[in-house]
Amino acid sequence: MAVTVLAIIRLHNLVAVVMLSGFYSLLAATLFVVLDAVDVAFTEAAVGAGISTILMLGTLALTTQHEKVRALPRFPLILVALTGVALIYGTADMPDFGDPESPIHEHVAPRYIERSAEEIGLPNIVTSVLASYRGYDTLGEVTVIFTAGIGILTLLGVRRWRSRKPGPDTATGDEDRNAAGGDRA
Amino acid sequence: MTIEIHPGLYNYAIVVMLMMAGLYIVITRGNLVKKIVGLNVFQASVFVLYITMGKIVGGTAPILEAGIEVYSNPLPHVLILTAIVVGVATTALGLALVVRIREAYGTIEEDEIQRQDEAL
């Protein structure tokens, strides 16, 4: 993943950058499988590596494919390095990786693991929590997607529909985008 | 005050490195599409942070099955599932803004957009 990120930083061809970002998402998805988060891995592979990449390629088709090469200032590198050191210092008190005794595993999760089978009746605990215990969260998520869809429509869709007569050659990229937006919900 | 970074915390070091790489892209690159890619890199590093915190050594995926005692924590998985989907919604909105900016200014490079604004 680190190599991919370095390549993303260095490259100026935006198509390559977008492909690498999809690859980065796919690597993250495989990492999630290793870390027992199979549902997250599915979603990351489908949404992060799939839909995001398609949306970005669509944007590149509508805009440009090359980044302007410019001189890089030194200051951001120092700033980012300092922030990184501060963050690593902040993690010194965190529990060890994989420690079953860490606070995150002590409070809510054991109840989900012990009771969700009888209360919800689904073998997959992630589904039980997502759809039932934290159902309002998911409702909020759907609201966010709906709002984003409306935002995209107001930015791109309606204006074109008014300014041009609808014809076979009208902005196919937008229709792809809106179709993808509908699928995400 | 001593600072101990022991080997059990390596996952946080990886996350911080990926996160800072994403932040660096967002700060230094003037191209708007590349900024959004940087934002995605940053976002994915946060996902990795949460999922590594949910992992228990020797645990399995949180799907109930007879004979399995230790499950990894399902709660971070749920939160990150929501976050991934919200993340792609914001990415899509950002890219729509980029397309709109390109139509209005003819470029997606930040400095050129600023120059045009100053010229007005």
Q: What is the ipTM of this complex?
A: 0.83
Range of the domain at B21: 14-55+72-119
B62 domain-assigned:
no
* pLDDT at residue A109 in the model: 77
φ, ψ at A3 (rounded to 5°): -65, -40
Q: Is residue B97 part of a domain?
A: yes
Mark which residues 139-168 of A lie under 8 Å from B by CB. Answer: 141, 144-145, 147-149, 151-152, 155-156
* Confidence label for A92 from pLDDT (cuts 50, 70 and 90): confident
How many structural domains comprise chain B? Answer: 1
The Cα B40–Cα B38 span in angstroms is 5
User: Which pair of structure tokens corresponds to residue B52?
Assistant: 């590594």
Please state, in angstroms and rounded to a whole number, the distance separating the CA atoms of residues A45 and A28.
Answer: 8
CB contact under 8 A, A123 and B65: yes
Cβ contact A52:A21 at 8 Å: yes
What is the C-alpha to C-alpha distance for residues A90 and A87, in angstroms, rounded to an integer? 5
Given an 8 Å threshold on Cβ–Cβ distance, is B12 in contact with A73?
A: no
Q: Is there a domain that residue B65 lies in?
A: no
Which among A148, A174, A178, A146 is positioned nearest to A160, based on CA atoms?
A174
Q: Smallest CA–CA separation between A28 and chain B, in Å?
A: 7
CB atoms within 10 A of CB A15: 14
Look up the CATH number of the domain holding residue B99.
1.10.287.3510
In B, which residues are within 8 Å of A21 by CB distance?
37, 40-41
Q: Is residue B64 part of a domain?
A: no
Three-state secondary-structure class, residue A13:
strand
Distance of alpha carbon A70 from its chain centroid, rounded?
A: 28
Residue B108, in any domain of the structure: yes
Check: CB of residue B74 under 8 Å from CB of residue B62.
Answer: yes
Is B20 among the domain residues? yes
Is residue B109 domain-resident? yes
pLDDT of residue B93: 92
Q: Compute how many other C-beta atoms are within 10 angstroms of the C-beta atom of residue A104.
A: 16
Nearest CA in chain B to A27: B44
**B87 to chain A nearest CA, in Å?**
9
Average pLDDT, chain A: 78
Domain assignment present for residue B18? The answer is: yes
What average pLDDT does range A171-183 have in this prediction? Answer: 45
Distance of alpha carbon A122 from alpha carbon B94, whole angstroms: 37
pLDDT of residue A176: 46
Q: What b/e readout covers B80-92, taking b as 16+ CB neighbours within 10 angstroms?
A: bbbbbbbbbbbbb
Q: In sequence order, what are the beta bridge partners of A66?
A: A13
pLDDT tens column, B48-105: 888 888 888 777 777 777 777 778 888 888 889 889 989 999 999 999 998 888 888 8
